[in-house]
């Protein structure tokens, strides 16, 4: 990939910090507005860990994530993206759930005449372009598509246009899953959720009493409850068994992406997760584990777990 081309994602894309750094991925921050004020989620590891350490129901129970304004994005374009790149390929979270796609599109449209004028003032300056692509997924599903795009660009040396066409074919094969852990948090926020009419959030109260955790599926931009498990780790075992069945049939991506709404030390050595990663390795499937974004966590609650894979087979 040309050094003057970059991939940009919004901060809800659950990729490990080292992967973002290694592949020079630009992160578009998201505002977290909470009882104590607001701050930006830019996937900074130190800040994210502090967020989890400071997280309380009183402070973040009704917190909201808000994409940068058109003016904010304009300043980011002028200050960082326009001077350093000729082409910025933005991969956004599901536009049904977030206004990131809309805001970046508006900022690009507003600034188009300004960019053309700046190019005329610098005869050696190539045209500056922003391209947008809606992942139609969230969290780890978003991350999986970005992983596959980077692999095509950097390992396989394929052109950007061809690579985008290929992940476009994969987009409808991506299945994402979320296991909320704090069901009281989810129940209290049910009135704030966008486009989740297919899920009976009132059942979260009953699930909490019975110590059940719902496994929520995200596919092609839509959300639905798949099943439940006994407690958090029981639900993870149910989800991992589901993924093992899909791996046995064959996946279309070489990676299973995962994220956790807390410090990774809390879960990464747990036998259930260790065994699953070993099973993936035996099947020739890579795994990638990251902290869930602050923006993701204020929407689904601390301690939540997300996972995604891609397959062109019917689910079993």
Write down all domains in the chain, each with its CATH number in brackets.
5-170 (3.40.50.10170), 174-310 (3.30.1180.10)
pLDDT surpasses 90 at 130: yes
Do 26 and 81 contact (CB within 8 A), yes or no? Answer: yes
Tokens 């609650």 found at: 301
Tokens found for residue 109 = 């449209």
Comparing 9-23, 104-118, 189-203, 247-261, which segment has the lowest mean pLDDT?
Answer: 189-203
Average pLDDT over residues 57-76: 92
Q: How far is 150 from 118, CA to CA, in rounded Å?
A: 30
Tokens 């989890």 found at: 52
pLDDT of residue 197: 45
Q: How sure is the predictor about 206, in pLDDT bands with cuts at 50, 70 and 90?
A: low
Residue-wise pLDDT tens digits, 268-303 = 999 999 999 999 999 999 999 999 999 999 988 999
pLDDT of residue 285: 98
Q: What is the DSSP string of 95-152?
A: TTT-SHHHHHHHHHHHHHHHHHHHHHH-TTPPPPEEEEEE-S--HHHHHHHHHHHHII
pLDDT of residue 235: 94
Average pLDDT over residues 32-59: 93
Mean pLDDT of the chain: 91
- Please indicate whether residue 129 or residue 187 has the higher confidence score (pLDDT): 129
Alpha helices in 180-230 (DSSP H): 183-188, 203-209
Q: Which helix (H) or strand (E) segment is 35 a member of?
A: none
pLDDT of residue 223: 83
- Please indicate whether residue 253 or residue 55 has the higher confidence score (pLDDT): 253
pLDDT of residue 304: 95
Residue-wise pLDDT tens digits, 142-186 = 999 999 999 999 999 999 999 999 999 999 999 999 999 887 777
- Please indicate whether residue 25 or residue 204 has the higher confidence score (pLDDT): 25
Q: How sure is the predictor about 202, in pLDDT bands with cuts at 50, 70 and 90?
A: very low
Average pLDDT over residues 76-103: 94
pLDDT surpasses 80 at 52: yes
Average pLDDT over residues 227-251: 95
pLDDT surpasses 80 at 192: no
pLDDT of residue 193: 55
Backbone angles phi, psi at 228, to 5 degrees: -135, 165
Cα dist from 48 to 21, 26, 27, 60, 144, whole Å: 16, 17, 14, 14, 21
């Amino acid at each position: 990939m040309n050094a003057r081309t970059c991939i940009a994602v919004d901060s809800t894309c659950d990729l490990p910090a080292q992967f973002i750094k290694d592949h020079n991925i630009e992160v578009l921050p998201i505002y977290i507005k909470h009882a104590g004020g607001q701050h930006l989620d830019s996937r900074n590891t130190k800040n994210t860990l502090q967020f989890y350490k400071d997280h309380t129901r009183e402070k973040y129970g009704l917190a909201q994530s808000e994409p940068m304004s058109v003016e904010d994005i304009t300043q980011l374009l002028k200050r960082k993206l326009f001077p350093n790149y000729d082409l910025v390929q933005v991969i956004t979270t599901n536009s049904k759930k977030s206004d990131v796609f809309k805001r970046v599109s508006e900022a690009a449209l507003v600034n188009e005449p300004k960019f053309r004028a700046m190019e005329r003032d610098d005869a050696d300056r190539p045209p500056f372009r922003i391209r947008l692509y809606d992942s139609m997924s969230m969290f780890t599903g978003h991350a999986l598509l970005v992983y596959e795009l980077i692999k095509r660009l950097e390992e396989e040396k394929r052109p950007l246009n061809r690579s985008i066409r290929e992940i476009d074919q994969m987009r409808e094969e991506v299945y994402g899953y979320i296991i909320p852990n704090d069901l009281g948090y989810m129940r209290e926020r049910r009135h704030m959720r966008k486009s989740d009419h297919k899920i009976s959030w009132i059942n979260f109260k009953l699930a909490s009493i019975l110590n059940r955790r719902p496994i929520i599926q995200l596919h092609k931009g839509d959300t639905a409850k798949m099943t439940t498990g006994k407690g958090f780790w029981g639900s993870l075992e149910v989800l991992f068994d589901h993924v093992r069945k899909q791996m046995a049939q064959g996946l279309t991506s070489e990676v299973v992406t995962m994220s956790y709404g807390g410090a990774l030390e809390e879960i990464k050595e747990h036998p259930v997760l260790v065994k699953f990663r070993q099973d993936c390795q035996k099947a020739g499937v890579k795994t990638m584990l990251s902290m869930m974004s602050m923006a993701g966590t204020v929407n689904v609650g601390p301690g939540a777990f997300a996972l995604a894979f891609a397959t062109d087979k019917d689910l079993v």
